[in-house]
Amino acid sequence: MEPTLNRPLRRSFVKGLLGTTSFWMASGNASWTAALAAEAAHPYQPTFFDAMEYRFVEAASERLFPADDNGPGAKALGVAEFIDRQMQTPYARGENWYMSGPFQQGPANLGYQLPFVPRDLYRNGIAGVEHYTRQHYGKGFADLSPVQQDEILTALEGGSVQLGEVPGRVFFEQLRTNTLEGAFADPLYGGNRGLGGWIMLGFPGARADFMDWVNQEGAPYPLAPVSISGESA
Amino acid sequence: MGRTHVDAVIVGAGWAGSIMAKELTEAGLSVIMLERGPERTTPVEGAYPESIDELRGAVRKRLFQNLSQSTVTIRNTMDQTALPYRQLAAFLPGEGVGGAGLHWSGVHFRVAPEDLRLRSSVIERYGEKFIPDGMNLQDYGVTYEELEPFFDKAEKVFGTSGEAYKVQGKIVGNGNIFSPDRSDNFPLPAMKDTFSASIFRDAAKNAGYHPYALPAANASRQYTNPYGCQMGPCNFCGYCSGYDCYLYSKASPNVNILPALRQNPGFTLVPNAHVLRIDLDSAKTKATGVTYLDTKSRKEMSLSADLVILGAFQFNNVHLMLVSGIGKPYDPVSNTGTVGRNFVYQTITSSRVWLPSSTYTNQFVGAGGSGVAIDDFNSMNFDHGPLGFVGGSPVWVNQAGVKPIAAAIGAGGGGTPRWGSAYKNALINTYKHSLGIDAHGSNMAYRDVYLDLDPTWKDVYGQPLLRMTFTWKDNDIRMNQYVVSRIEPIARAMGATKMNLVHLNAGQPFDTRNYQTTHLGGGAIMGDNPQTSALNRYLQSWDVSNVFVIGSNAFPQGMGYNPTGVVAALAYWAAHHIRTTYLKSPGPLVKA
Ligand SMILES: Cc1cc2nc3c(=O)[nH]c(=O)nc-3n(C[C@H](O)[C@H](O)[C@H](O)COP(=O)(O)OP(=O)(O)OC[C@H]3O[C@@H](n4cnc5c(N)ncnc54)[C@H](O)[C@@H]3O)c2cc1C
Ligand code: SF4
């Protein structure tokens, strides 16, 4: 049988016990809703985004990856927390990118040529979207209806909006990529809460041992995912 | 102050460098191997569970080259301005001890014999007029028979799993009927077929093709190689391509060669040592040693050596030759010079087949080198006459372990939504019930596709970046389209409920933003004519005879197979001739 979201999820907030057998006993919450409630009692404090930016990331990522019949969306999976935490890594500072000038633009197929690293893309991109939505809708992005939010995301994706120096499409791709990373990365990084992303896909996580499952004639893999820390669902 | 002197300096600690280091220390030489990246060993960086992490691994690119230090510039045509390759995407060069050999997938091929003499073979079969204008089709200058013992040796060192077809003239098994005779069987039996590969095998067979198990440098059983290095059985963990193997099952220089090499007192490995140039005498006919930067202390160091081996990977080898002044740079306008000539790559397109929702493909199960292929449309195995192109592609299901972030980012597009609920539906369905089929094909060399130094951008060491001028050409696009059209009946026979056949389109330029393969080739090719090749048939520079340049840079054109098996065989071939001939009387092994 496939693991589904109807099964109770165990999620431990006792980080010190992760990966030990006592983790299983100590894991707190009996269900998905309980996990969410526990989380709401201690909301994550962003360190890179300010309150307005964080609300934007939460709202926009939920539209990109919404909760639906398939399972949790970006908000329940902790995608905004994931992205905020990523902003403190070398990746967000572009430390593995070639960032020497001159920065000359060319055909799209020759790749990214902007002088902005992910941190800049978020700072400038969010400010640009907020400016755009206030102009066109009289409110900030997070306060718009889902339909209006989708209109804006569609415009960004389609490339018809420029956000200051950042093309809307570039910002959209950055947000989409990081949102999906947050939904499916190991929970170690703050997203994929309760392994909800992996359960939806039927991905076993860090099991990394399929000796007896190389060919089972198309049957679904039977075991629930497990994370690097030993968290399981 | 006198420089430290060694018999041989080797640049780069990947497969090419490590094989050469092993061979030359066996010959009694003192050897220093310089590697620009850090030290890497399985029990430290490769250990479970930390290495089983898609975000840190393939997504944030833990093991690949750090482009902030050095990269290349790329343009499609000579009239464009090449722009820097700022973010890793189309190809993923290695860095650190083991090079890309630590995080490759392990598909370990020999070669189709006719690919080594493709020019001769095409002319014999179709006449010289068959070769399009501007295509620099060339022979390697070495034959399969000459290389066979070295293919055999490499397979034994790598612990390669596979099923042979012919050994010493006798048909011994269900292997690839197009593959040439072998002196010995594979050291290990073939990897098991994943479910996806097994249904491809059945469908391809029913369609009249000749499926075979991909030869894989993933160990199907435990194994001890001739150097005494040990491998454990692969468990299809799925964190293979782009990862270091926590089970010591995937062949790497780190697992299969370095444990033996490190014990040899004649051998020294220096990580964090970026070689800036090969030092030459004033006549530029002899290398005197190398100059490198210790990237930790930021001190420039120099070594004197009798023999210099470049094993820095295809385009880095060409870059080092150009910045050091080894040989004559290629000029596409006058069609003179050889260094940078015949830069080639590989065509690859991945098609997708969806099965009924009761069938689970479990795409996360897989090993990098495992799978089932057909060679019916590869190399010279079919009639190109009426088709009018040179080259071909194997077609295969090579399920190496599909992980969720990559699957999610790649899902949608081409008319289907890339976000929202409809996207989620499609992603989940695709992840659970589909499989990929690749056409992994050749790419020919052309007069206006080449490597040289960029006039504008520099690396952090102040050296000009290498410039790639590369795009897809009509011959290769039509080849890819033809081979992809042959996938359709196979997919239908597999019970496809839907398929997305992907091929190159006419006029489509090379796109640096999407992963292709890291199977770059050419640029310093081997051959029998110093006017059209930078290296002789022993991979020795025609111009500077104590420099050997080992890697896929030696390929005159890109083949349908993955390159590393040939790189390893060429390394053993070159080493053999250095040991048996060159060391006795250093100098050119072939008269120019
Ligand atoms: C994800 C992935 C999957 C692959 N799968 C396959 C496969 O299945 N089958 C196959 O045949 N091939 C595969 N390949 C290709 C394979 O990895 C390469 O062909 C092979 O590793 C090349 O070996 P090499 O020794 O020539 O170069 P590398 O392994 O790249 O080693 C070169 C080394 O030189 C170092 N270096 C470079 N410049 C300098 C300098 N200036 N000074 C000092 N050191 C330097 C680099 O840091 C590197 O460590 C794959 C590659 C990748 C990235
Ligand atoms: S699939 Fe096999 S060879 Fe590849 S990393 Fe996993 S255990 Fe190693």
Extents of the domains making up chain A: 2-40, 47-95+111-233
Number of the ligand 2 atom closest to the C-alpha atom of B219? 3
Q: Which domain holds residue B214?
A: 4-54+92-582
What is the mean pLDDT of the segment spanning B410-423? 95
Partner-chain contact B235 A208, CB within 8 Å: yes
Partner-chain contact B52 A64, CB within 8 Å: no
**Chain B residue with Cα closest to A208:** B237
Chain B neighbors of A112, CB-CB under 8 A: 86-87, 513
Which residue, judged by its Cα, is nearest atom 2 of ligand 2? B234
Q: Compute how many other C-beta atoms are within 10 angstroms of the C-beta atom of residue A5.
A: 17
Q: pTM for this structure? A: 0.95
A4: pLDDT strictly greater than 70: no
Mutate one of B199, B424, B468 to test the A interface: name it (highest A CB count within 10 A). B424
**pLDDT confidence bin for A1, thresholds 50/70/90:** very low
Residue B61 covered by a domain? no
Q: Which ligand is nearest to the CA of B244?
A: 2
Share of chain B above pLDDT 90, in %: 98
- B233-257 tens-digit pLDDT: 999 999 999 999 999 999 999 999 9
**Side-chain half-sphere CA neighbours of B334 within 13 A:** 8
> The domain spanning residue B173 has which CATH number?
3.50.50.60
Residue A125 C-alpha, separation from nearest chain B C-alpha, in angstroms: 19
The pLDDT assigned to B519 comes to 97
| Neighbour order of strands in the sheet with B372-374 | B212-213, B372-374, B395-397, B434-441, B347-354, B498-500
Q: Compute how many other C-beta atoms are within 10 angstroms of the C-beta atom of residue B296.
A: 10
Residue A31 C-alpha, separation from nearest chain B C-alpha, in angstroms: 23
| DSSP codes, A33-75 | HHHHHHHHHS----SSS-HHHHHHHHHHHHHHS--BTTB--HH
Residue B85 covered by a domain? no
> Is residue B107 within 6 Å of ligand 1 at its C-beta?
yes
Partner-chain contact B360 A96, CB within 8 Å: no
**pLDDT confidence bin for B572, thresholds 50/70/90:** very high
The pLDDT assigned to A28 comes to 47
Cα B218 to averaged position of ligand 2 atoms, centre (Å): 7
Residue B9 covered by a domain? yes
The pLDDT assigned to A34 comes to 64
| Residue among B365, B421, B511 whose CB faces A109 most closely | B511
**pLDDT confidence bin for A35, thresholds 50/70/90:** low
Residue B376 covered by a domain? yes
**pLDDT confidence bin for A41, thresholds 50/70/90:** confident
B29: pLDDT strictly greater than 90: yes
Partner-chain contact A100 B457, CB within 8 Å: yes
Residue B545 covered by a domain? yes
| Residue among B194, B365, B513 whose CB faces A111 most closely | B513
Chain A neighbors of B399, CB-CB under 8 A: none
- B78-96 tens-digit pLDDT: 999 999 999 999 999 999 9
Q: Kindly report the backbone phi and psi dihedral angles of residue A53, in degrees, each rounded to the nearest multiple of 5, phi listed first.
A: -60, -40
Structure tokens at B447: 């007069």
Residue B63 covered by a domain? no
Chain B neighbors of A95, CB-CB under 8 A: 66, 68
A22: pLDDT strictly greater than 90: no
Cα B522 to averaged position of ligand 1 atoms, centre (Å): 14
What is the mean pLDDT of the segment spanning A117-126? 98
A27: pLDDT strictly greater than 60: no
Number of the ligand 2 atom closest to the C-alpha atom of B243? 5
| Residue among A111, A153, A198 whose CB faces B83 most closely | A111
Looking at the 3D structure of chain B, how many domains does it have?
Answer: 1
- B327-384 tens-digit pLDDT: 999 999 999 999 999 999 999 999 999 999 999 999 999 999 999 999 999 999 999 9
Residue B485 covered by a domain? yes
Q: How far apart are CA B404 and CA B113, in angstroms?
A: 39
The pLDDT assigned to A122 comes to 98
- The residues near B182 (Cβ < 8 Å, ≥ 6 apart) are B148, B151, B152, B164, B166, B167, B168
